[in-house]
Amino acid sequence: MSIREIRILGDPVLRTEAEPVEGFDDVLRELVEDMFETMYHAEGIGLAAPQIGISRRVMVVDVRDPEEQGGAGQIALVNPEVVEASADTERSSEGCLSIPGLEEVVERPFAVTVQGLDPDGKPVRIEAGGLLARALQHEIDHLDGVLFLDRISPLKRKLLMKKWRKSREKAEAG
C-alpha cells in the first residue's frame, strides 16, 4: 500500500469523465487499498480515482460513523451510479481534498440509492442518507468530472475562486 499524490484544482483529470472499470483483479484491489490509505492520510471521508490521477470509475468512502452507514465501515465502489434520489434536499458545507482550504454550502438530495460493484466485481446496492449520501454523491460527481464548485451559485464560485488563487499564490511564494 502507498499514499498517492492528490491532484489539485486545475489538473485536467479532475474535469474528465472517468472510464468504466472492466477488469477486476489485484491491480484494482491494490488501487482501492492505496485510495483508502491516501484518503486517511489526507484526513478525508471520500476519494475518487481521478483525484489521484487515474481516470477510472472507482471511489472509496468512510464517513467514520458506523451507525450512519448501517455498520458498513469502509465502502469501495466500482462503476457506481445514483439510481434513486430523494426529493428532500439538505444544505451542508462541503470541502474537497483536491481543493484544499475551500468550503461552501452545497444543496444535495438528502437520501440516495447507489448501485455499483465491489472490488471483486460483486453487485452492491447502498441506501444512504445524511453525510454518507452526501459523500457518495460528491465522489460520484468526481467520476463525472464535476466538482462541488459546480453546484454553487456563479457569484459564490467567483468569490471562492478568487480566495483559491490568493491562497495558491501565497503558498507558492513562501
Catalytic residues: 139
| CB contact at 8 A, 96 and 135 | no
Could you tell me the three cell numbers for 105?
454550502
Residues 50-86 as b or e (16 or more Cβ within 10 Å = b):
bbbebbbbbbbbbbeeeebbeeeeebbbbbbebeebe
CA distance 10 to 100: 12
